[in-house]
């Protein structure tokens, strides 16, 4: 009989361990894939729930009166460094404010009169 040397025994032991590790890795990979799919499904479900609950319609439109006030403030601030541009912004702010408060309200009154007749 042929006796194996220590080196051959070690090599066979390493090969056996590698085979076992390869067999053990396959179920681990399948398990990891299953975990990844389950985690992705949970995250997607939570994202859908959050999207449904957090959808609040917001009205971000700025009223003309607010725009006029911002133009006045901006014009006053710019007037110190560039007077002509500041004056132009202030005049635009006044014009928008007059339009928003007086002219626009008269159009609404005219519409109401038209609808009532």
Six token digits for residue 21: 């590790």
Contacts 24+ apart (CB under 8 A), 84-93: 93/68, 93/69
- Its pTM stands at 0.42
- Same domain, yes or no: 80 and 105: yes
Six token digits for residue 60: 């971000």
In this model, does residue 87 exceed pLDDT 90?
Answer: yes
End position of a domain, from candidates 56, 85, 101:
56
- Same domain, yes or no: 75 and 102: yes
- Same domain, yes or no: 5 and 43: yes
Contact call for residues 93 and 64 (beta carbons, < 8 A) = no
- Same domain, yes or no: 52 and 74: no
Q: What is the reported pLDDT for 105?
A: 65
- Same domain, yes or no: 51 and 80: no
Closest CA to 97 of 64, 56, 74: 64
- What domain count does the chain have? 2
- Same domain, yes or no: 37 and 69: no
Q: At what angle do helices 83-98 and 64-79 cross, to 10 degrees?
A: 160
Consecutive H or E run containing 82: none
Instruction: Write out pLDDT tens, residues 16-64.
Output: 777 776 666 566 777 778 778 888 888 888 888 877 776 666 667 788 8
Contact call for residues 54 and 43 (beta carbons, < 8 A) = no
- Same domain, yes or no: 84 and 43: no
**Range of the structural domain that residue 23 is part of:** 1-56
End position of a domain, from candidates 33, 56, 79:
56
113: pLDDT confidence band, cut at 50, 70 and 90? low
């Amino acid at each position: 009989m042929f006796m194996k040397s220590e080196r051959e025994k070690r090599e066979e032991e390493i090969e056996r361990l590698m085979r076992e590790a390869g067999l053990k890795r396959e179920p681990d990979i399948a398990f990891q894939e299953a975990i990844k799919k389950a985690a992705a499904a949970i995250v997607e479900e939570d994202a859908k729930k959050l999207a449904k609950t957090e959808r609040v319609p917001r009205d971000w439109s700025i009223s003309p009166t607010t725009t006029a006030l911002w133009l006045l403030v901006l014009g006053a601030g710019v007037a110190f460094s560039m007077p002509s541009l500041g004056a132009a912004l202030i005049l635009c702010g006044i014009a928008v404010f007059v339009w928003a408060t007086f002219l626009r309200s008269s159009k609404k009154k005219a519409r109401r009169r038209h609808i009532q007749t």
